[in-house]
């Protein structure tokens, strides 16, 4: 998982006017690191998936959250729980994921499976990893290199290939791009679809 966030952050997507949002949120979590005592703890991720961790909590890589912590939610509702688990991995790091990182990620996946939570992966920075895609993002599914990276992720995490979505992030672009948006939209639609399936199955 990519390391960007130090805490547990909830994001809403605005719909139309101010104060109106789409009926789902994204919870961003501190990344997993290769060191045994680095990054977010697996047991904290498990508690977050069950809805026990409140927005804004800062993770401590050495100690899991206490039930006495003000950010611990003792009585989570369905809205507090995770409806889908999304693992975000940079294309450039797939082949160098440490055994410890893979172990942690698989452990989280198994915990999600036991909770009935569907799991997906997003493969980012595909343009930086593949010259063909950098030239034209429409080449994403023609690229043998990206296919290999998706297969590597499939093997290391045990995720089906149809649950791994390559995405090019916006970084230097000024205007929106239909081809970039198509990949992002495909990943988003599947995340929402799997999340809805999870809720409907309860």
What DSSP string describes 103-165? HHHHHHHHHHHHTT--EEEEEE-HHHH-HHHHH-GGGGGT-HHHHHHHHHHHHHH---GGGEE
Mean pLDDT along residues 184-192:
95
What whole-number distance in Å separates Cα of residue 88 and Cα of residue 91?
A: 10
Q: What is the pLDDT of residues 96-138, one digit of tens each?
A: 788 888 999 999 999 999 999 999 999 999 999 999 999 999 9
Residue 1 — very low, low, confident or very high, per pLDDT cuts 50/70/90?
very low
Q: Is 5 exposed, middle or buried (0-12, 13-18, 19+ CB in 10 A)?
A: middle
Choice between 1 and 48, residue whose per-residue pLDDT is larger: 48
pLDDT-derived band at 171 (thresholds 50, 70, 90) equals confident
Q: Compute the mean pLDDT over every residue in the chain, rounded to the nearest whole number.
A: 91
The pTM (predicted TM-score) of the whole model is 0.90
pLDDT, average across residues 195-201 = 95
State the average pLDDT over residues 158-169: 94
What residues pair up with 90 in beta bridges, in sequence order? Answer: 124
- Inter-helix orientation angle 144-157/99-114, to 10°: 70
| Total residues belonging to the chain | 202
């Amino acid at each position: 998982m990519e390391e960007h966030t130090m805490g547990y952050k909830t994001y809403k997507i605005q719909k139309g006017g101010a104060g109106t949002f789409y009926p789902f949120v994204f919870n961003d979590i501190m990344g997993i690191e290769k060191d045994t005592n680095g990054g977010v703890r697996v047991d904290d991720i498990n508690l977050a998936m069950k809805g026990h961790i409140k927005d804004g909590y800062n993770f401590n890589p050495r100690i899991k959250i206490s039930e006495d912590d003000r950010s611990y939610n003792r009585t989570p509702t369905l809205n507090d729980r995770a409806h889908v688990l999304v693992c975000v991995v940079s294309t450039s790091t797939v082949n160098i994921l440490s055994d410890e990182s893979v172990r942690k990620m698989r452990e989280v996946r198994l915990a999600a499976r036991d909770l009935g939570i569907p799991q997906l992966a997003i493969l980012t920075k595909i343009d930086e990893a593949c010259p063909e895609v950098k030239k034209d993002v429409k080449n994403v599914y023609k690229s043998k290199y990206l296919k290999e990276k998706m297969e590597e992720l499939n093997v290391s995490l045990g995720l089906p290939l149809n649950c791994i979505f390559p995405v090019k992030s916006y970084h230097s672009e000024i205007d929106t791009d239909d081809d970039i948006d198509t990949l992002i939209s495909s990943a988003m639609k599947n995340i929402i679809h799997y999340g809805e399936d999870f809720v409907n199955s309860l």
